[in-house]
Amino acid sequence: MFLLLLFLLVLNINVSSGVNYSLETHYTVVTGIPSVPDFWAQTIIENVIIGYFDSKINQFESEQEWMKNLGENYVKDQTKNYQQFTEILKEILKIVKKKHNDTGGVHTLQQICSCSMDDETGIHFSPVGRSAYDGTDMILEMKNVGLVAAMEQAAVIKQKLDGAHDFCMYCHSLECDKWLQEYIYYGNSSLQRKVPPQVSLLQTDSSSPVVCHATGFYPDKVNISWQKDGQDLHEDVDVGETLPNHDGTFQKRAKLKVTADVWKKNQFTCVVEHKSGDPIHMILTEEKIRTNSAGTASSTS
């Protein structure tokens, strides 16, 4: 979990997820932190980690039970690929550090490769490869065999990647689309499952914001909003990011910043919309805050 949080904190890269299925592979090389591996990678489908590799274990590990159906060769092939990427990225990081005159401290080189698919048109083969050094974009986008430089050092990386058969291009042209279809086939029952959220109203004390907390839902896409007397409320509302739970489900929260005397004189309702069922309406009352009881599904009026 620490490695995932470090990756998300250091790398400020957004990958579009406006399709039914998306597959991403995250690669990270780090120097200056002896307690963690100097290379690790994660395979992620629909924001769920399904595979992991790092330079200490030096072995690809499947994170989902259904992946056993992919066979022994799958693990061997993935291990070989990640071992190759380890050496490539380590070498590139050395070059970039030298160009920056960075000799010590913590430094990172990170790469995201992704592809996507929807139910109607199949694979969308538009390779996306993103790189960052210490959180700064270096290679913004890859279309076919072209790389776009976002800073001077990107030209050095481009040359190195081209010489190594451009591992991100290799990932897409030979592997990404193939494995996305394989994962969907073997993991369909898991990926297609719909788990409804459990909704609670939380408050630290009478002067703190009221938090509408939805957790335990799958898939990750959910909408949480607050209403005042039946009308959508945007002011005084702070909606957080969707975060993963340890069991593969997700959680999200929305804070309502109003005083008790205000919400007691009006009807404030938290509305949670998820594809698992009808919207959940949680009316804000003192009793609901104390008990944190789950809301019941009801149709939108």
What does the domain layout of the chain look like in residue ranges? 2-191, 198-291
Element of type H or E holding 296: none
Q: Using CA atoms, how far apart are residues 236 and 208, in angstroms rounded to an integer?
A: 12
Stated as kind and residue range, the H or E segment containing 236 is none
Give me the tens of pLDDT residue by residue for the chain, a chain 301 residues long.
Answer: 434 434 433 333 333 333 478 888 898 999 999 999 999 999 999 888 899 999 999 999 999 999 999 988 999 999 998 898 888 888 888 888 887 888 888 999 888 888 887 755 555 555 566 778 888 776 544 443 344 444 455 555 555 555 444 545 555 554 677 788 889 889 988 888 899 999 999 998 888 999 999 999 999 999 999 999 999 999 999 999 999 898 889 999 999 999 888 988 999 999 999 999 999 999 999 889 864 444 444 444 3
Distances (CA, A) of 14 to 82, 112, 130, 137, 140: 23, 10, 9, 11, 11
- List residues bridging with 48 in a β-sheet: 45
Using CA atoms, how far apart are residues 13 and 141, in angstroms rounded to an integer? 11
Please tell me whether residue 32 adopts helix, strand or coil conformation: coil
Compute the distance between CA of residue 170 and CA of residue 188 in angstroms, rounded to an integer: 26
- With 0.85 as the threshold, say if the pTM is over it: no
Closest CA to 13 of 143, 142, 116, 135: 135
d(CA 168, CA 170): 5
Q: Residue 96 has which token pair?
A: 């970039």
One fold for both 2-191 and 198-291?
no
Domain formed by 198-291, architecture? Sandwich (2.60)
Beta partners for 259?
none
CATH architecture of 2-191: 2-Layer Sandwich (3.30)
Distances (CA, A) of 156 to 80, 130, 148, 202: 25, 15, 12, 51
Q: For the chain, first and last CA: distance in Å? A: 41
